[in-house]
Amino acid sequence: MNKFFYSKAFLCPKNKERLLNNFIKMKLTGFILAASSLGVYASTSAQVTVNVNNAKVEGVLKNITGQTGVRFIYEEGLLKNLRTSVVLKNAPLEVSLNKIFSNSKYSYIVHGTTVVIKSNGNNNVVIAQQELTLKGVVHDSEGKPLANVTIAEIGSNRNTQTDSDGKFTLRVSSTLSKVRINIVGYDTQTIAYSNSLVSVVMNTTSNQMDEVVVVGFGKQKKESVVGAISSVSAKDLKVPTSTLSNAFAGRVAGIIAVQRGAEPGADGSNFWVRGISTFAGPSNPLIFIDGIESSITDMNNLPPEAIDNFSLLKDASATALYGARGANGVLMITTKRGGDFDKARVNFRIENTFASPTRPVKFSNAVDYMNAFNYALSNRGLAPRFSDEKITNTQNHLDPIAYPDVDWYSTLFKDMSMNQYANFNVAGGGKKADYFVSANFNNDNGFLKKDPFNSFDNNIKIRKYNLIANVGVSLSNTTKAVIRVNSRLDDYNGSAVTSGELYSRLFLAPPALFAPVLPPNAGATDHIMFGNLNGGPIPSGTGNNIYYNPYANMVSGYRSSFTATNMGAIELNQDMKFLLDGLNIKGLLSFTNVSKSNNLRTSSPFYYEVSDFKETDGKYDYTYRNVTRGTTALSTSLSSEGDRLMNINFVVDYAKQFKEHKVGAMLAYLSRDYSPNNPSSFVASLPTRNQGIAGRLTYGYKDTYFFEGNFGYNGSEAFAEGKRFGFFPSLAAGYMISNERFWEPLKATINSLKFRGSWGIVGNASVYNSSGAAVRFPYLEEVNLNGASYTFGNNWQTTQSGAVISKLGYPGATWEKGTKINAGLDLSMFNDKLSLTADWFTETRSNIFMQRQVVPAEVGVVGLTPYANIGKVKSSGVDGNLSYQQQLTPDLYVNLRGTFTYSKNKLLDRDEPTQLFSYQSAIGRPLNVGYGYTAIGYYQDDADIANSPENTLSKDLKPGDIKYMDLNNDGKIDAFDKSYIGNPTVPQIVYGFGASAKYKKVDFSLFFQGTAKVSLFVSGIHPFSPESSALLQYIADDYWTENNTAAMYPRMITNVAYHSNFETSTHWMRDASFIRLKNAEIGFTHKFARIFVAGQNLLTFSKFKYWDVELGGGNGLKYPNNRIVSVGAQFNF
């Protein structure tokens, strides 16, 4: 055999490929071990120094072997005539070889201390056939480890992902294996197998448009998207709250959101896509989870750990596919899937949260209450209610029963609650199947106290159990199936009195009249003795009137409910490439069932009053009188409710590239069938059904010019035959100017720039009456067979019940139509460190269904206001997001981000009667603005009252009363002086900004969220009206007197029901803008574990100080928002 050793290089005859392969297979392992035992060390990290000019490559390799101990294997004569010129100094081995073999037809494979050199056309040299392991670490260009990078062997299904430190391990099938490394936002790389630890540096792509965005009935690359779509990373939705919508405000461009309370089970935010565009009914967007129509409750209970993609479809090009139901925007959420991972991925997160009210309303003490009450009576010339003795003894705290000073708020509510959250999920699979399973537990506890006497718990709390399972199966090479299950169990408990009733009664409980609970005189009783008094404003049902005792209301029973929500779906995907390359068919069938059982258990309180008391040596003995007799046993009231929903989707999709042309088409059929499980009436028992088709055509040229057309042809059973279906088209175009050749000089700075524009018509098939109740079949009259009594006969003495029309039908009823226009741009700069998306939008919503307001009496429909599609609203605004990221040092990475949404609207038509004065017309004004008087201070003295316009609203004017502007200059204050005042009560501006940083193993983030151009109106705060009403502390601190003429509150009076001070006016209007530290988090990661401390609603900055400004108007007495501190850990295996 013609072979020889040359400078420790192993040469082989070129016609002996089989011999070489067999020899390597049998001997390579022993060869390497023998070399290792002789102490020869070499690796790809060895340093090479060479300086030659036109030298033979074989001689250069001999030199390198002498420096590093690396052995070269190649066919005899392969490099005989090859020469090179190269200058290297302390260069890595692979860098050296790349230069030596540059511009040649030869390549190499490194296997430990051995390098195989071969001709590029020869793929027969194989080092080993047994399974091998590739290990390495992935960094970005700044040296920061990259997590969740996909590492996949080319030509097989083997893949894995990097961990939080950027490390990975992958089994490969051959030493000739190639491995593809990719992650969104970075250039994809391909590397060869090495038995040494490899280090991969990922370069940020010059175009981040490869990101996939979820759109209606499919996905598109961000590069080709021409609609207005906001996408949010699932990690940005992981905040210390159990409700997903509470993470929207300031994070999702295009969403206006406010949280009006945090009661467990009812703590979701109200939110609107690009504001409010209609005044008829709710403006909720459509929500789809994995293509299945879902409720806001379903979305709120979705754990962030299970979310893969979150997209908000905002303009007509994105929502026209949903036709008559897409006018208010569409939320698209996809959950995670498994994959052919190297090993199963297991994640576990657990946290414990401590919640307290952000800014609870404060009540005055009994002494301030009594003094203010007496002062209010004196302002009306009445005798004081409370004696000086009672006030003094109460101030001295002589006895809590004889001289009560009750802090009702602290009596009912705890300062803090403790809650728990846990999520466990696992993902994995193989070539034929994949799976993702998520199990979730959430325990939310409220602030209500429990009485130790009771065996039941009246606190508001809810325990949620959620299971999500997605299983994918490859039935063949072209057929795939996905089975989805999403089950949730909600176990709720609360007081028999709702939180709204409880807080309202809290305001009606005076602090100085009686104690919440009275101690027994002797021994124990079989019931709680609640304090009260005869003579109050509340009928007791036993012939006497009493006062509210909110503590008794709270602990005299409880309510519980158990809700089971089960969703099952099957999805089939068929690749039709055997008929036409690029053609796919997908079918989806889903069924959702909600069942809820309710149990209300109540008892009647035993109320007692202290009729007399005696004090002996500082100890008090009491004489009680039973005011009302209660019950000790709990009564039970059971009920049930629920609904079911079935969806069917069938989609045919085609996508193909012809050289520089990309074309796409999609046609979908969709149907929806909804029925209640426990209907309350015959009409309610009828199913609600919708069906239609949708289509999309797309075209792209050179990844620069994009065109898209969409349509929805949808129908609803709510409308009359012949009017049930409507056509909703949209057109859109995009121009990626940065892909033009003339842009090349700018591309290093402005990496990508795309302009977008769209026009379209969308619809809303929901119809509501003026009370906000849904109207079924508005084209039909409703007839009550016993709705009226008819009289006839001699002297009209005969009466007979008969039928009466209770609702007039409107045969022309149809859906709202919204004509939307959008213009936007997407920009990235400085190697994608800076990115900006901005949109301008406008919409004209017409055909708003409403009850007419102008109907002549001669029409003969008095008391039966007819319906019509005549309302019209115009809205417009801008939204966008901006982000910047950079690796400042090898150990320090920072990210800055912000979003901004501004949406304004104005009423164009609502069948408004002609107004005598233009300032009283709502036309041209925003929706949800206040209507009232313009206040110009207080009357300062009697002369001021006499010289001012006559106030017809109140005859009992005194100094300290509110003075109003006479808008029509007729010399009097009356209803014609009302006008529209302030900003809307829903914010026109919502914004957010934040920063995150990671230094080595420590990460830190802050996020601020704010609102602007929003007003609230203070109401329902007036003490002593009715007489038992409490006194809020900020009123006790600042009401009008002769020495405090610039006070917040007017003069103190009782019986305010007919006084002009409490009309809606600018005096009670407040700026409800705020900015708050919404979230802060610090974490430490070590290997597979991360511990963290997080907070929510930590700080709030606002001009409004009486209660949490985000709760809105009123008196602040509702279940509060929470300030949350969370401690937790997460583990990734």
- At 728, list the tokens: 């909703």
Q: What is the mean pLDDT of residues 48-59?
A: 86
For residue 24, the model assigns a pLDDT of: 39
Give the model's confidence band at 861: pLDDT under 50 very low, under 70 low, under 90 confident, else very high: low
The pLDDT of residue 541: 65
Cα(565)–Cα(488) distance, integer angstroms: 5
Supply the pLDDT for residue 819: 94
Half-sphere exposure of 764 (CA within 13 A, CB side): 29
Q: What is the mean pLDDT of residues 818-825?
A: 94
Percentage of the chain lying above the pLDDT 90 cut: 53
Q: What is the mean pLDDT of residues 353-382?
A: 93
In angstroms, the CA 255 to CA 231 distance is 12
Strand partners for 903: 877
pLDDT at 364: 96
More confident residue, 898 or 139: 898
Contacts of 962 (CB under 8 A, 6+ apart): 935, 937, 938, 939, 1050, 1060, 1061, 1065, 1067
Q: How many CB atoms lie within 10 A of CB 196?
A: 15
pLDDT at residue 23 tops 50: no
pLDDT at 16 over 60: no
Q: Count other C-beta atoms under 10 Å from residue 1087's C-beta.
A: 12
pLDDT in tens, 1032-1041: 999 999 999 9
Has residue 564 got a pLDDT over 80?
yes
The per-residue pLDDT for 233 is 78
Q: pLDDT grade, residue 858 (50/70/90)?
A: low
Mean residue pLDDT of the chain comes to: 86
pLDDT at 361 over 90: yes
Q: Which of the four pLDDT bands, split at 50, 70 and 90, describes residue 931?
A: very high
- What CA–CA distance (Å, rounded) separates 487 from 315? 32
Distance CA 466, CA 243 (A): 13
**Is pLDDT at 352 greater than 50 in this prediction?**
yes
Q: Band the pLDDT of 884: cuts 50, 70, 90.
A: very high
pLDDT tens, residue by residue, 473-485:
999 989 999 999 9
* Gyration radius of the chain over CA positions: 37
Q: What is the pLDDT of residue 1059?
A: 83
Strand ranges, E, within 68-211? 71-75, 83-92, 106-111, 114-119, 132-140, 150-153, 159-161, 167-172, 178-182, 189-192, 198-202
**Beta strands at 286-289 and 330-335: parallel, antiparallel or unpaired:** parallel
In this prediction, residue 539 has a pLDDT band, given cuts at 50, 70 and 90, of confident
Q: Is the pLDDT of residue 862 over 60?
A: no
* Residue reference for tokens 């038995």: 195
Residue-level pLDDT at 774: 82
Strands 1039-1040 and 1049-1051 come out as parallel
Average the pLDDT over each of 1-5, 626-630, 821-825, 974-978 and give the range with the smallest value. 1-5
Provide mean pLDDT across the span 70-91.
82
C-alpha pair distances (Å), 301 with each of 90, 353, 597: 59, 17, 19
* Predicted confidence band of residue 216 (pLDDT cuts 50, 70, 90): low
pLDDT of residue 183: 79
In the chain the first and final C-alpha atoms are separated, in Å, by 53
User: How far apart, in Å, are the Cα atoms of 965 and each of 217, 933, 1066, 1067, 1131?
Assistant: 57, 7, 10, 12, 64
pLDDT for 747-777, tens place per residue? 889 999 999 999 999 888 888 877 778 888 8
Q: Does an H or E element contain 942, and which?
A: helix 942-946
pLDDT score for 31: 35
What are the chain's domains?
5-119 (3.55.50.30), 132-202 (2.60.40.1120), 208-348 (2.170.130.10)
Of all helices (H) and strands (E), which one includes residue 318?
Answer: helix 316-319
Indicate the pLDDT class of residue 2, thresholds 50, 70 and 90: very low
Q: Using the predicted structure, report yes or no on whether residue 672 has a pLDDT greater than 50.
A: yes
What pLDDT, on a 0 to 100 scale, did the predictor assign at position 1058?
A: 64
Identify the burial level of 633 via C-beta atoms within 10 angstroms of its C-beta, where 0-12 means exposed, 13-18 middle and 19 or more buried.
Answer: exposed
135-149, 403-417, 498-512, range with the lowest pLDDT: 135-149
pLDDT per residue over 274-286, tens digit each?
Answer: 999 988 877 888 8
pLDDT mean over 448-453: 94
Least confident of 60-74, 83-97, 121-135, 639-653: 121-135
Answer with the residue of higher pLDDT: 73 or 843: 843
Range of lowest pLDDT (96-105, 550-559, 807-816): 96-105
- pLDDT confidence of residue 202: 82
Q: Is the pLDDT of residue 992 over 50?
A: yes
**pLDDT reading at 510 higher than 70:** yes
Specify the pLDDT at position 5: 33
Q: Which long-range contacts (CB under 8 A, 24 or more apart) does 938-942 make?
A: 938/962, 938/963, 938/1040, 938/1045, 938/1050, 939/963, 940/1045
Q: What is the DSSP letter of 203?
A: P
pLDDT above 70 for 1086: yes
User: What per-residue confidence (pLDDT) applies to 764?
Assistant: 85
Model confidence at 324, in pLDDT bands (50, 70, 90)?
Answer: low
Residue with tokens 């303009």: 315
User: CB under 8 Å to 35, separation ≥6 — which residues?
Assistant: 69, 71, 113
**Does residue 207 register a pLDDT over 60?**
no
pLDDT tens sequence across 609-653: 998 888 888 788 898 988 888 898 999 999 999 999 999 999 999
Q: Across residues 366-395, what is the average pLDDT?
A: 93
In the prediction, which pLDDT does 27 show?
38
Flag whether pLDDT at 15 surpasses 60: no
Q: Per-residue pLDDT averaged across 169-182, rounded?
A: 83
Whether the predicted pLDDT of 206 surpasses 60: no
Report whether pLDDT(584) > 90: yes
